[in-house]
Amino acid sequence: MLLVVVLAALSSARPASGQEIAVAAAADLKFAMGELAANFEKQTGNKVNVTYGSSGNFFSQIQNGAPFDLFFSADLEYAKKLEAGGQAEPGTLYNYAVGRIVIWMPPGTKVDLNAQGMNALLDSAIRKIAIANPVHAPYGRAAVAALKKAGIYEKVEPKLVYGENISQAAQFVQSGNAQAGFIALSLAISPAMKDSGEMWLIPAELHPPIEQAAVVVRNSQKKEAAKAFLEYIKSAAGKAVMDRYGFTTPPASEVKRKAA
């Protein structure tokens, strides 16, 4: 009986189909990845299991042999380090998107965010501003860079409180403990937050690009399926989903350059 099942499974296994891949994804992908995975599953019959978390945690875990097939890091550096350390499959590093940050406030804040933009943070009604920890979170670093570029970092710094990641920065604002926060655009336009506050998109030139990158994990037993998923992310359909969730995807030419 068991033999029959095994044989049936073997015979129906075409390359990169009917497999289950484990994906480690940065928390900012929470909503985009759900749709991407569902589309890919429908197209190929492969299954995608996504775990969301901090890129730094995933980095350490993969370095120590965590059984992930594919890693989407919110920080290009982690992907590069895995590649340099030989834990990433050579040639698979792909800059899948550039993240954007917004200032987010709950509704009814007595500050005109749209008119004032970043200067709204100087208002005395804004007592605490939540950002992701710039020490290790790329979105936090971008927030600090933008504040510095705008010349208001010194004035705003005493108001800053640090979340472990952008999700926690969002929690601090949603719970009312902070009056404003810097969060990822992808989170701000997600179903969970879209209608519960107002946002102001920070101009991309105010901070270094938040480059995000994916790699296939070297130890993966399902590299073909993992590569197929990555190909889908690179495709026009995959990019359209990313764009819709607030990521800026690279133009086609850049894909070629990075893949080469």
Partner 1 sequence: MMAGPLLLSLKLAAVVALLLLVVGVPAAYWLAFSRWRGKFLLESVVALPLVLPPTVLGYYALMSMGPRGPLGKLWIAFFGHGLAFTFGGLVLASVLYSLPFTVQPLTAAFGSVDRKLLDASAVLGAGKLRTFWRVILPLSIPGVVTAVVLSFAHTVGEFGVVLMVGGNLAGVTRTASIAVYDDVQALDYAAANQTALVLLLISFAVLCAVYGMNRRVWKLWPAS
Degrees to nearest 5, angle at CA 29 with 23 and 31:
105
Q: What binding mask, one character per residue, do residues 59-98 give for partner 1 by CB under 8 A, x or -? A: xx--------------------------------------
User: C-alpha angle 156/160/163, rounded to 5°?
Assistant: 150
Closest C-alpha among 54, 6, 8 to residue 28:
54
Q: Does 128 bind partner 1 (CB under 8 A)?
A: yes
Q: Print the binding letters for residues 138-167 with partner 1: x by CB under 8 A, - otherwise.
A: -----------------------xxxx---
C-alpha span between 45 and 11 (Å, rounded): 15
Distance separating alpha carbons of residues 100 and 121, to the nearest angstrom:
18
Determine if 181 is a binding residue for partner 1 (CB under 8 A): no
Q: Which of residues 108-127 bind partner 1 (CB under 8 A)?
A: 127
Give the shortest CB-165-to-partner 1 separation in angstroms. 9
Query: Does residue 171 interact with partner 1 by CB under 8 A?
Result: yes
176 binds partner 1 (CB under 8 A): yes
136/149 with CB nearer partner 1: 136
Paired residues of 22 in beta bridges = 49
Exposure pattern of 166-185 as b/e (b: 16+ CB <10 Å)?
bbbbbbbbbeeebbbbbbbb
248 is an interface residue for partner 1 by CB under 8 A? no
CA 240 vs. chain centroid, Å, equals 16
Of 232, 197, 204, nearest to 70 (Cα)?
Answer: 232
User: Which residue stretch of 55-63, 83-91, 190-198, 205-213 sits at the interface with partner 1 (rule: CB under 8 A)?
Assistant: 55-63
43 versus 177: smaller Cβ distance to partner 1: 177
36/210 with CB nearer partner 1:
210
- The smaller minimum CB distance to partner 1, of residues 158 and 191, is found at 158
Q: Are 165 and 141 in contact (CB under 8 A)?
A: no
Q: How many residues bind partner 1 (CB under 8 A)?
A: 22
Q: Which residues sit at the interface with partner 1, rule CB under 8 A?
A: 54, 56-57, 59-60, 127-128, 130, 133, 135-136, 161-164, 168, 171-172, 175-178
